[in-house]
Structure 1
Amino acid sequence: MSTVVKRWVASKKGAKHFLSGHPWVFIGDIIKGVNGTPPGAIVELVDEKEKFLGHGITNAFSQIAFRQLSRSPRDFKNSSETLASFVIDKLVAAANRRFKDNFLEYSHRLCFAEADSLPGLVIDCFVLEDDYQCFSIQASTAAMDQLLPSMSGILETFLSRLNKYTSRSWDKSFVILKNDALARKLEGLPAKEISENEEEKEAIILKNCPTSLSTFSIKIKSASKNNNNYLLFSVDLQGGQKTGFFLDQYHNISLLLENLNFSSRIDDTSPIRILDLFSYVGQWSTQLTHHLTYLRHQVIATVVDSSASALDLAYANVLRAGGQCRIIKSDIIKKNSQLLETLAEEKFDIVICDPPALIKNRNDYYNGKSAYQQLNNSLLSKVKVGGYFISCSCSQHLSESDLTQIVANAAQKNSCHLKTLAHGGHSLDHPTLANFPQGNYLKAIICQIIDASKEHQ
């Protein structure tokens, strides 16, 4: 007996959209089979001529009614193949890909939803000292939410099949749930409101952990080719943002380090000054400090964030990497002018602008784009000639060309000559699908202010 509960028929438009490679079909493009289908069920999708298209999980109460699991007709043909067994197989496949890119030894994203054929499931694996590891989970679809009571068993089985790649055992693993994603509301799933009181954003422990969730140091792969030892980051897995740490910026930090060149300062003993805005726990400034101090530079990092607890962690992380650190608590979006007054005439060698998503949906596009422009205009003014400016966006609705134009406008506004050194995006453990723009959210542009009068000397 199959685990597929029903057959859904897609309209001609819906089938064409799905066959283009997109993993979703919207409720308006399902013309038959919806009635009586419980949220989270596995269904078979066919076109109007009953030609097989794929298997997926469903929720008729969401605009995104069908989310692809597989395009193979061989899947889900017998009762032994459940959603749980499918998840285990896909997690093993995801880990195999990340093993090839040398991610499993350090903290990494194990599962990235649609890109790993598990829509609505995000799992970050945080590697700790002494071979402990924490699986931090977000489930944002009905099917994955229904699997949560079984998730510890799923991960235990997954880990037993992965023992040739890792020495970490299930006994030294723990599992937490960080279901504060607002996307859950669109699926009709309970989601805690984002609160200004950080203590209320607590993780749910699914498998016991050895110590307090707010006192962990996790292993992060060094982005430096010169100093390739791992870094230890102090993080708060209990009340921190998202899964507890943003792993997606690793590639962009690596790109920045590859393009940094302070060789002209070989006789200059003054410290390299970093301005890290929307710093959270100081990932950018800590990786930079780790790299630059290895090259015998002194580093002073100024980290700015609205969260006092995150700033405390950023301070500790920069100091551990060998730098000096100054913290400024500020809501940069609302109090940008006050921040500029605080910084006064200071200029920096490296300025990182890595804000949260300022465009939550299409209706926010113009206001959000304007907010990005204002940020880039003001923050580019804090970069020294010869210094580096990194502008990021994690808004799905802001394209790379939009961000490129925003940076170009900021250069014109500040009357500076800006050279683009690299365009960045997701780290390799955050794969994307070519025909799924909704999963391709992260953009980064790495630039340098050039003294045009000396460029050809």
Structure 2
Amino acid sequence: MVELILNRGAERRLKRGHLWIYSNEVDTKRSPLKGIDPGSQCQVLDSQGKPLGTALVNPSQLICGRLVSRTIDFSAADVGERIQTAYQLRQRYFEHPSYRLIYGDSDWLPGLVVDRFGDYLVVQTSNWGMERYQQAIVDKLVALVQPRGILLRNDHQGRSVEDMPLVKETVYGDVPEMAAFEENGVPLLAPVHQGQKTGWFYDHRENRRLLNRWVNGKRVLDLFSYAGGWGVQALANGASSTVCVDASQQALDWCAVNAEHNKVSEKLTTVQGKALEVLKSMVADKERFDAIVLDPPAFIKRRKDHKAGLAAYHHINELAMRLLKRDGLLVSASCSMHLESDELLDCVRGAAHRLGRRASILASGGQGADHPVHPAIPETNYLKAHFAHVG
């Protein structure tokens, strides 16, 4: 096995439990990265030559290695064992078979995501190391879950970054265009073939559950609505009406399908357009809502985007707050890993201050139990949401 020798001190983070190795942490004079095949296993050593474990390596990436074992042994059997452990965890904490079954590093399977929609699974791999175990992954999932179909959604941007081919195919059984599942007791349909990522975003499950308690009889605005995860659930829980806004007409069509699925179509209005433009138009028209959900895509995808992204969060929170009725509820959320929860909270505070309104934080939430946080990898804890009562 090729050896990967780290610079002095680079092992400290790994010894605390982190799994990532950055290319600038490698002593390339003693262990050149050049020439290592992407996806290869390498034995990781500290600067004194003491073994730290085995990593899957892609020499051309900033994160050039990901530890998969603290020994020098990692095989398809280990992949299968970890899949089973992850499955047992979800079985323990979820009554309905609708959840993220594998969450990458947090399940010690870096680069692997599996979402379950009842009888169907959607699988994504995002590095060459995990790609090499693709058949073993599928075989284990078939034996363990006994699904009716498995869809491989390897057509996402993360693979382009790793110079991996984009592929979308059904690798077991048959998978319908819209897969039925349930979230917070609400029956839904996920566009697993054509939708974003795996077709659904399970991470906000608990935050949606909280909102569902407070929307009965309320008029709700769901910005960046996608397929209606927030808005349709609000209707199913008694909201008087919901306006869903998204830049994608296809996403709004899926939203309408989910509304029909729950027999609440007459209470749903969809608006196609960019959120900022729609917000400005609604402010000009003096629209008002009892509750507003602000769940945008990541405005800060890289650390260097922080300043501009933070300004965008400030701006959009203020626009949304202008549309809230007195004693309205603002749900301000972010999936930007590089945005701290307190920074998002400051966006809410700043918007209230500039508008001369009083904001009280009723609750703050993060990702659900199917997106467990690895305590040594802060990057696995990316989601945040603040619920603000605005007087």
Q: CA deviation at 1:414?
A: 1.9
Superposition pairs for residues 219-258 of structure 1, below 5 Å?
A: 219-222=181-184, 230-258=185-213
Are the counterparts in 2 of residues 88 and 157 from structure 1 also a CA contact under 8 Å? no
SS of 1:218's partner is: strand
Are the counterparts in 2 of residues 17 and 25 from structure 1 also a CA contact under 8 Å? no
Is residue 155 of structure 2 the alignment partner of residue 180 of structure 1? yes
Residues in 2 aligned to 1:348 and 1:182: alpha-carbon distance in whole angstroms: 35
SS of 2:9's partner is: helix
Give aligned pairs, total.
386
Q: CA deviation at 1:186?
A: 3.1
Which residue of 1 is the match for residue 78 of structure 2? 86
Which residue of 2 is the match for residue 63 of structure 1? 62
SS of 1:281's partner is: coil
**Residues 244-270 of structure 1, C-alpha deviations (whole Å, 9 max, x = no match):** 011100011123345x287xxxxxxxx
SS of 2:330's partner is: strand
Residues in 1 aligned to 2:97 and 2:138: alpha-carbon distance in whole angstroms: 21
Q: CA deviation at 1:175?
A: 1.3
Residues in 1 aligned to 2:324 and 2:263: alpha-carbon distance in whole angstroms: 23
SS of 1:60's partner is: coil
Residues in 1 aligned to 2:252 and 2:171: alpha-carbon distance in whole angstroms: 28
Are the counterparts in 1 of residues 290 and 325 from structure 2 also a CA contact under 8 Å? yes
- What amino acid is aligned across from residue 272 of structure 2 in structure 1? K
Overall identity of the aligned pairs, in %: 28
| Structure 1: 5+ residue stretches without partners | 128-132, 160-168, 193-202, 223-229, 263-270, 293-297, 451-457
Per the normalisation by structure 1, the TM-score is 0.79
- What amino acid is aligned across from residue 207 of structure 2 in structure 1? N
Q: CA deviation at 1:336?
A: 4.2
Which residue of 2 is the match for residue 275 of structure 1? 221
SS of 2:48's partner is: coil
Per the normalisation by structure 2, the TM-score is 0.92
2:123 pairs with one of 131, 137, 153: 137
2:18 pairs with one of 22, 27, 52: 22
1:102 pairs with one of 86, 94, 103: 94
Are the counterparts in 1 of residues 364 and 385 from structure 2 also a CA contact under 8 Å? yes
CA gap 1:290/1:62 in 2 versus in 1, 3 angstroms: same
Superposition pairs for residues 396-415 of structure 1, below 5 Å?
A: 396-415=337-356
SS of 1:386's partner is: strand
- What amino acid is aligned across from residue 407 of structure 1 in structure 2? V
Residues in 2 aligned to 1:117 and 1:396: alpha-carbon distance in whole angstroms: 19
Q: CA deviation at 1:191?
A: 4.5
Is residue 102 of structure 2 the alignment partner of residue 111 of structure 1? yes
Q: CA deviation at 1:35?
A: 5.1
SS of 1:13's partner is: coil
Superposition pairs for residues 308-457 of structure 1, below 5 Å?
A: 308-323=249-264, 324-333=267-276, 336-341=279-284, 344-450=285-391
SS of 1:248's partner is: helix
Which residue of 1 is the match for residue 232 of structure 2? 286
SS of 1:420's partner is: strand
SS of 1:249's partner is: helix
Backbone CA RMSD of aligned residues: 2.1
Are the counterparts in 1 of residues 282 and 323 from structure 2 also a CA contact under 8 Å? no
**Residues 165-207 of structure 1, C-alpha deviations (whole Å, 9 max, x = no match):** xxxx34x2x1112223322233232348xxxxxxxxxx42222
